[in-house]
Structure formats: structure tokens, C-alpha cells
Amino acid sequence: MTVTRSSENFNKIQVGTNAYIGPDAVANAADFANAQMYVKQGDTGSSSTSYVGVASEALAVNTEQAGIAFYGVGKAAGNKDGRGILAKGTVTATGDTATATGGYFVSTDTHAGGTNVGVLGDAQNGAANYSFYGANGDFLNKSGKAIFNDDGTNAADFALAQMYVLEGDSGGTSAFKFGIVGESAALVANPGVGVSGYGKTSSNASGNGVGLMGVGTVDATGDAGGAFGVIANANSTHAGGTNYAIYSDARNSDVNNYSFYGAAGDIYNAGRILGYKGSDVASANDITLGQGNFFLVTGTTTVQRILGAGWTAGSVVTLYFADNIQIDHNVAAGGGYYGILLEGAGGNFSATASDTLTIIFSADKWREIS
């Protein structure tokens, strides 16, 4: 049955079987034999045996215009959504095991130039703009990479990264296999941060708030390769500034603050282990040492005890005396302050200006090393 209407206005056409629209549409309708409606602008050479409500083909040849099979425009009015295309996938019953897909997009042709894009999203000029927005459910990419804010040019610097996020081109490259690479270039006073993680524990919970976590493993106990939880490099040559492979800042806990905490294993450093001179300490019977492991003690008041809060057993500090001063031997602890156990049988230590005393904390007192 053929229906032709060229001049009349009408609301509905009802066709008993299939509807074919477009130049010579009947000739190619067999390519989509189970489509209820077939619309042809040009023959793309595609075909499908899926059951389709509407199948459409458009072919752009030697033209500056795109070949678009479906073009939908939805305009928002009265605070309602404007949706160009609405696609919904459903199942017949809750026990169905087949996949319900709202939108299925394929771009797999082999060609010498150009790019295959499954979904192209362009969102701009709104109060908020999302080229992709998922209201519920997870994001799953079964193969291929995820690249953000880059056309692939900079991502090639990290060719084996599964996810690449670009803020700015740092000039870095690596042939390592990565799960995620973040790249940033700071051209202003603020730092350029490739990857930043923030972890927060809930109120009164026993769990930890972890910003970033790295775990290095091996396949078998006999593997000779190293397993690294974290690899940090800072080796750029520059006229000013400092290179920090790892920079940590831990404070404001009412219990303990550790800028570095190793639960097990040794600390190995092929370079120097540098200390820090803390703020000068005025002599008193009970003194408090601030941050650091080397302190200048000023004044001549006898020192009897040192505060233990903030120090762990095994902590080593050196006191450098600016003046002649006495250090009392093994005074009883009290109020969180611990006495100093001096070596030898001479009892108290009468230090002269420029003398030093190195001590180690043993949880119940400070003990002289040298």
C-alpha cells in the first residue's frame, strides 16, 4: 500500500504493515527486514535483523555536511526539560537475564584517518554543563581507555595508562602501565597537582580517612621484582625552589600526628637523612620541646624533666646549651614530664656553654646516649 499526501494537513497516517520513506526506500528496506518503519536518505550499506520501531539511514558523500540518521531537538519551556532524544530499554519480566540498554551506539569502521566516536556530547552555556550525566548506576568501560580534557595528543605520553586526566601538559612521559594518570601544569602561584585524594572518616567511627592508597604486589613469592606501594620522583632541574619527592603535613590531632608512619619494614634512604632544628627552649625545671630533633637551650635554670607528650619510644633529640647549666639525674616523673637518666656514676651533669647532650625517649624516661 502506498499513501501519498503532498498538500493536505493531517494528524495521523496508519499503515497496516511496514512504512518505507525516502528515495527508493523499498530497494533497501530488506537491510532492516524487521523494522516497522524504514527511512532512507542514502544507502550506508548497513543492515540489522533486530526488531526496530524506526530504522533510518543517511549518507553524506563529498559534502561538508554530516550524514545524520536521526536528528531530534527538544526545547525547554516552563521550567521543563528539553530532550532531543529519549531512549529507554526495558525487560518483559523481573526474571529476564538479558540486558536492557537505554541507548546503544556503535562506531567501529576501519578508516585511514579520522576518529571513531561512540557518543559525542557537547554541553555549554548552562548554569552547569555536563557532556555526560549519569543519574544512577555505575560507569563501565569494558575495554579501551578513558581520556579527559584531551584529544589524545598528550595522552600518548602515557600510552599504557587506562585513564588519563589532563589539566595542563607538564611535559612528563612514562612507558609504565598505569590505572590512572593525572597531569597538571601550574603557570600561576597555586601548585600544579596531577592527582589529589581526600578521605574523611565519619563522626565517632573507628575507620580511617585515607586520601590516597597505593598497594604494590607480586604474583608469586619467588618474584624478583620490587613491589612498590608508592613511587615518588622530584628530579627536575631548576634555578630556584626545592625538589620534594614526598611532602607531608600532619597536625591538629589531639592524640598523635605523624607526617610519616611506617607500620612495618625498614626505612632506607640512599641520600642523607636530614634533621630539623626546633625553636630555642628557655631553661626551666620542666621543659617542653617543640617540633624538631635539635634544640638550643638558653639560660642557667636547672633542667630536671622533659615533657613526653608527642614523642614515641625510640625518639632521639640533641640538646645544645648556650650557657653553663645543670641537668639533674633521674628525677621522678610527674605531670607528663619524665626525668633524664644520665650515664656514669657522677650523678648530675654540669654542662658548660656549647656542650651537647643526646638523649632517647624510652616511654618512662629520657636516657642519655652521649
Structural domain tally of the chain? 2
- The reply to whether 148 falls in a domain is no
Instruction: Report the mean per-residue pLDDT for the chain.
Output: 86
- The reply to whether 41 falls in a domain is yes
- The reply to whether 180 falls in a domain is no
* Mean pLDDT computed over 282-301: 97
Least confident range of 105-114, 139-148, 196-205, 351-360: 196-205
For 25, the domain range is: 14-106
Query: How do residues 75-104 score in pLDDT, each as one tens digit?
Result: 888 888 888 888 888 888 888 888 888 888
- The Cα 289–Cα 306 span in angstroms is 7
- The reply to whether 182 falls in a domain is no
- The reply to whether 191 falls in a domain is no
Q: Are 87 and 70 in contact (CB under 8 A)?
A: no
- The Cα 146–Cα 348 span in angstroms is 68
Place of cell 617540633: 291
The set of cell numbers assigned to 214 is 597505593
The beta strands (E) that lie in 214-346 are given as 281-282, 286-287, 294-298, 305-307, 316-321, 325-327, 337-341
Using alpha carbons, select from 198, 230, 226 the residue that is nearest to residue 214: 230
- The reply to whether 73 falls in a domain is yes
Domain end among 68, 83, 106: 106
Q: Which residues of 194-216 are buried (b: 16+ CB within 10 A; e: fewer)?
A: beeeeeeeeeeeeeeeeeeeeee
pLDDT of residue 279: 97
Maximum Cα–Cα distance across the chain: 119
Place of cell 620522583: 233
Domain end among 106, 140, 166: 106
- The Cα 5–Cα 212 span in angstroms is 66
Domain end among 57, 75, 106: 106
- The reply to whether 333 falls in a domain is yes
The pLDDT confidence band at residue 10, using thresholds 50, 70 and 90, is very low
- The Cα 326–Cα 337 span in angstroms is 17
Using alpha carbons, select from 269, 277, 223 the residue that is nearest to residue 246: 269
The pLDDT confidence band at residue 2, using thresholds 50, 70 and 90, is low
- The reply to whether 46 falls in a domain is yes
